[in-house]
Amino acid sequence: MSRPVTACKPCRPVVLSAITKRGAFSCRECVERGRDVDDRKQGRNARASGSDAAGPHQRVSMNIVILLGVVITLATGIPVLLQILKNHPRGLIICFFAEMWERFSFYGMRGLLIFYLTQHFLFSDSAASGQYGTYGSLVYLLPLIGGIVADRYIGTRKAIMFGAVLLVLGHGLMAFEGSPARQVLRSGDQTYAVQLVDRGDQKVSQVTIDGQAYDYTVGANGTAVVSGLPAASPLATAELRTDVVKSTGQNWFFLALSLIIMGVGFLKPNISTLVGQLYPQGDPRRDSGFTLYYYGINLGAFWAAVLCGYLGQNFGWGWGFGLAGIGMFLGLIVFWLGKPLLQGKGESPFPELIKKPVAGFLNREVIIYLLGFVGVGLLFFIVPNHTLVGQGLLLSTIAALGFIGWFIIFKLKGDKVARERMMLAMVLIFGSAVFFTLFEQAGSSLNLFADRNVDLSLTAAAGTFLGIPYGTPAQMAAAGLPTTGLWIDTSITAAQTQSFNAGYILIFAPVFAALWAFLGSRKMDPNPVVKFGLGIIQVGLGFLVVVWGANSGMVDDAFRTPLVLLGLLYMLHTTGELFLSPVGLSEITKLSVASIVSFMMAVWFMASSIAHFIGGEIAKRVGTETVGGEVTDPAAALQSSLDTFQLIGLWGVGIGIGFIVISFFISKWSHGANDAGNHPGPAVTDAGREDGNIARPDATA
């Protein structure tokens, strides 16, 4: 069964001949140009054999997103690298590359995940969005454990190594696809293949019975009604229901996710802590060191979306996930070889204790690693259970809020300053949860929207630049430009749009850092509640820009909106993120009572986990009917997306305005915690977010 992509594989540059052995894929461009599947198969096979029969498709192309990425990286990366080598501890370059490759693997997988679920495993949109939310939720929940284990037992370096090993194993398993799932109609033990065919401007569902194709529709009760089936056929009176024959790789997939989640749990909270340990207390280079380190994080995220998204959607899932795994393996090798440059930092605080035997040859360190694998086994059963994760988060939230309420009312009775600071911290935690609930639509509903309802062409028509032709395959053909030799492909994949956020951060982070410094020097820096409000307003406006653009007529005949609207959405989401980044975690450390600051930081991270889960629930609303992973009604898919985007956009703007209004009443609750002399300054981290080790809040503050 074909899967929808902007252009079919035969219309893309084939750089690996093995790819041509995969099945045919139809695309909108080829349909519009009147090329049928058989023609494209012949062209693909000709390219694989190297014959001239490939005709006009025989070419070497350069993807424009990759070219732009090279330019941005060279322009910004070389100065960063020179600064690290010249002015900072040698260990920083190890952490820089290790975390860059870790984020490369993480975001490479993240950008492809929703498509893998809907197009390879044939999950419904609703089930895929829920699974994505569950994954994101657990990824941000497990670091709570990893940080504590590292700080109290094995140390940050060993925790990072163990996490990296788990990630390499997980991403390696992700490259094993197994057989693709198949959508069928089922009657008893018999199954019948279904497909989606184009008929004029509509897509029609068909089922093949005894070698003959018949149209069918599915009723509200899930029963299929087949048109034109002979009355004598035994299926004429049988009950046919839609079903999916599962992929042989589905269990391996859940095991891979479990390894990745546990790996992130050990690695994520500790590598930034290790960066802080490289600098002596009060070292003036520390802040700039973190800035350079976080550049590496976003550089990895940017290239992950560009390269893994390109390979995964054009040449096969295994290539995209495999590249992510290779990136993590490189990060592991760099970190292992670079141990001498860490100068003994990040080691266990109790080296003799963790080596002391506990049971036979088992010592505490080995037991921790074994428990890590036991945890992977538990996650294998938890990850597919979206409802169980939601129930666990709900109970945890109720318990956390109950404890904090009790603490504020009874333990802080009579201490107005501490009580109001704690209440302000809870307001900010709520704001963070709201922001990232909307922001994290990127990997689910926005990714599906980009794939189905966005014209992923960067140019309106083909042309030449310095004598080199450029355009999408369809534009090149329409303009009659030669597609032999070198040319620039200006189309991108939906997964590559995930690079927009990281790319914008690389561009705008220095601007915002200068802005906050400028405002702070003039005592005009907005208080944290106002910043949170402005950030939430912008994430809401991002969705509304798409809605307003589509409703104003910026939709083509194929129900696609222009790419510029999605670009504006991600720009607003990124600038909104940069409004939150200077406060975030540092505010929690300053506002929380010292005796429970670690618990409050755990609640902060739990809010991100909850945001991912609720984000998955919201993304379910955008779901539309698919057959074999392909949308049956693009118009309905567009309208469903716009309705949900308008709803959450308005809620985002409304809540953001609410934050600004209440800031006039609660800004003084900080009681000097945010005075100029006590302001931490901006710190741009993973996707604009700050991170830290909850066991040692001062490690990255």
Tens digits of residue pLDDT in 266-277 = 887 777 778 777
Q: What is the DSSP letter of 697?
A: G
What is the rounded distance in angstroms from the CA atom of residue 268 to the CA atom of residue 296? 14
3-state secondary structure of 124: coil
Residue 425 has pLDDT above 80, yes or no: yes
Residues 394 and 302 in one domain: yes
In a domain, 87, yes or no: no
What is the rounded distance in angstroms from the CA atom of residue 157 to the CA atom of residue 681? 27
What is the rounded distance in angstroms from the CA atom of residue 84 to the CA atom of residue 81? 5
533 residue type, one letter: G
Residues 135 and 100 in one domain: yes
In a domain, 3, yes or no: no
Residues 563 and 690 in one domain: yes
282 residue type, one letter: G
CA angle 36, 41, 45 (to 5 degrees): 155
Using CA atoms, how far residue 497 sits from 8, 458, 502, 654, in Å, is 18, 11, 10, 27
In a domain, 85, yes or no: no
Q: What is the pTM of this model?
A: 0.82
3-state secondary structure of 207: strand
Residue 454 has pLDDT above 80, yes or no: yes
End-to-end CA distance of the chain: 51
Q: What is the DSSP letter of 27?
A: B
Residues 175 and 186 in one domain: no
380 backbone dihedrals φ, ψ, rounded to 5°? -55, -35
Domain count, the chain: 3
244 backbone dihedrals φ, ψ, rounded to 5°? -125, 125
87 residue type, one letter: N
- In this structure, the dihedral spanned by the alpha carbons of residues 344, 348, 351 and 356, taken in order and rounded to 10 degrees, is -150
What is the rounded distance in angstroms from the CA atom of residue 45 to the CA atom of residue 30? 17
Per DSSP, the residues of 274-285 read HHHHTS-TT-TT
**Mean pLDDT, residues 116-121:** 91
Which of 245, 261, 280 is the last residue in one of the domains? 245
The pLDDT of residue 184 is 84
Q: What is the DSSP letter of 494?
A: T
631 backbone dihedrals φ, ψ, rounded to 5°? -65, 135
3-state secondary structure of 121: coil
Residues 201 and 174 in one domain: no
The pLDDT of residue 45 is 36
The pLDDT of residue 34 is 36
Angle between helices 416-439 and 563-580 (to 10 degrees): 160
In the numeric block, the tokens 């010292």 are attached to 594
In a domain, 592, yes or no: yes
Joined together, the tokens standing for residue 431 give 């704001």
What is the rounded distance in angstroms from the CA atom of residue 271 to the CA atom of residue 345? 11
In a domain, 1, yes or no: no
Residues 268 and 209 in one domain: no
Residues 599 and 560 in one domain: yes
Contact criterion met (CB below 8 Å) for 528 and 674: yes
Q: Is 414 left (phi over 0), alpha (psi -120 to 50) or beta?
A: left
What is the rounded distance in angstroms from the CA atom of residue 631 to the CA atom of residue 626? 4
CB-based contacts of 196: which residues, under 8 Å, 6+ apart? 1, 2, 203, 204, 205, 206, 627, 628, 630, 632
For the chain, how many residues are written? 701
Residues 333 and 450 in one domain: yes
- In this structure, the dihedral spanned by the alpha carbons of residues 257, 261, 263 and 266, taken in order and rounded to 10 degrees, is -170
245 backbone dihedrals φ, ψ, rounded to 5°? -80, 115
106 residue type, one letter: F
The pLDDT of residue 371 is 93
Query: Sign of the C-alpha dihedral, residues 232, 233, 236, 239?
Result: positive
Residue 622: which of 436, 494, 449 has the closest Cα?
449
What is the rounded distance in angstroms from the CA atom of residue 595 to the CA atom of residue 408? 13
Residues 517 and 658 in one domain: yes
Provide the CA 327 distance to its chain's centre, in angstroms: 16
Residues 72 and 216 in one domain: no
Higher pLDDT, 572 or 357: 572
Q: Any idea what the CATH number is for the domain that residue 625 is in?
A: 1.20.1250.20
Which H/E stretch holds residue 424? helix 416-439
In a domain, 86, yes or no: no
634 residue type, one letter: P
Provide the CA 626 distance to its chain's centre, in angstroms: 23
pLDDT in tens, 208-240: 888 888 888 887 677 888 888 887 787 877 888
19 residue type, one letter: I
The pLDDT of residue 560 is 93
The pLDDT of residue 98 is 83
pLDDT in tens, 302-349: 999 889 988 888 888 888 888 888 888 888 898 898 888 887 888 888
Residue 578 has pLDDT above 70, yes or no: yes
Lowest mean pLDDT among 54-68, 172-186, 619-633, 650-664: 54-68
Residues 71 and 13 in one domain: no
In a domain, 201, yes or no: yes
Which of 432, 467, 489 is the last residue in one of the domains? 489
3-state secondary structure of 182: strand
Residue 578: which of 306, 298, 300, 305 has the closest Cα?
298
Q: Is 122 left (phi over 0), alpha (psi -120 to 50) or beta?
A: left
Domain membership of residue 414 as a residue range: 64-80+92-179+249-455+493-699
Give the residue ranges of DSSP H helices in 24-124: 28-32, 37-49, 64-87, 90-115
Banded pLDDT at 583 (limits 50, 70, 90): low
In a domain, 473, yes or no: yes
Which of 245, 266, 285 is the last residue in one of the domains? 245
Residues 462 and 481 in one domain: yes
